[in-house]
């Protein structure tokens, strides 16, 4: 097996950090906890990222980049069920490949977020679903926030070996993907 590149190692560390930040928040996530989750010593991790803030910044940057991609894909399509499905599929693919990043990114939707987090992460996803600032369609806003929250929680639960409902090993990734897409699509209220 080839050795991981520096970028692959950093990406793996950021993924673990994002999962912990999503689950425990910034304040209650320690560098030691991140190092343990990533399988590195605290010293080794601090050699790559000088402090917890640097890990947070890296996770936020990755989340914002992923959400920009989702928004750019959606912008090329008209509002409606087909666009919603395309956005859901892209978010589910992110959740399956990087559950920590997906969970952290989606946790900012409908939750407290500071300027950069709101602008760089939450707003692109809401816009991808056709929910613009000042929207008066409360039903749509609630469904999008509920769908995002459900995907955030489910992606972490399915990837957590310590969770008694961990199911990724019991089905193929395609089966899991299909069920996630269907569940999130249903949450938006579209008939199948």
Distance CA 49, CA 87 (A): 32
Which pLDDT value is given to residue 163?
61
Measure Cα distances from 40 to 3, 33, 61, 98 in Å. 15, 10, 22, 19
Q: Which residues of the chain have pLDDT under 70?
A: 110-118, 160-174
Burial class, 69, CB count within 10 angstroms (exposed 0-12 / middle 13-18 / buried 19+): middle
Q: pLDDT by residue (tens digit) across 61-107?
A: 999 999 999 999 999 999 999 999 999 999 999 998 898 999 899 88
Distance CA 147, CA 43 (A): 39
Q: Among 3.40.50.1580, 1.10.357.10, 1.20.140.10, 1.10.3210.10, name the CATH number for the domain at 6-187.
A: 1.10.357.10
Which pLDDT value is given to residue 169?
45
């Amino acid at each position: 097996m080839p050795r991981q590149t520096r970028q692959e190692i950093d990406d793996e560390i950021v993924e673990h950090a994002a999962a912990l930040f999503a689950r425990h928040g910034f304040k209650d996530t320690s560098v030691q906890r991140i190092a343990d989750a990533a399988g590195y010593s605290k010293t080794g991790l601090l050699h790559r990222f000088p402090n917890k803030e640097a890990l947070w910044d890296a996770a936020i940057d990755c989340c914002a980049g992923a959400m920009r991609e989702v928004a750019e894909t959606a912008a090329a399509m008209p509002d409606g069920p087909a666009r919603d499905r395309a956005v859901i599929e892209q978010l589910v693919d992110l959740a399956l490949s990087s559950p920590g990043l997906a969970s952290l990114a989606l946790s900012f939707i409908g939750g407290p977020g500071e300027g950069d987090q709101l602008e760089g992460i939450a707003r692109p996803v809401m816009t991808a679903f056709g929910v613009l600032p000042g929207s008066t369609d409360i039903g749509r806003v609630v469904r999008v926030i509920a769908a995002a929250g459900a995907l955030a929680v489910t992606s972490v639960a399915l990837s957590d070996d310590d969770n008694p409902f961990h199911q990724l090993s019991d089905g193929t990734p395609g089966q899991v993907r299909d069920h996630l897409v269907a569940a999130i699509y249903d949450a938006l209220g579209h008939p199948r």
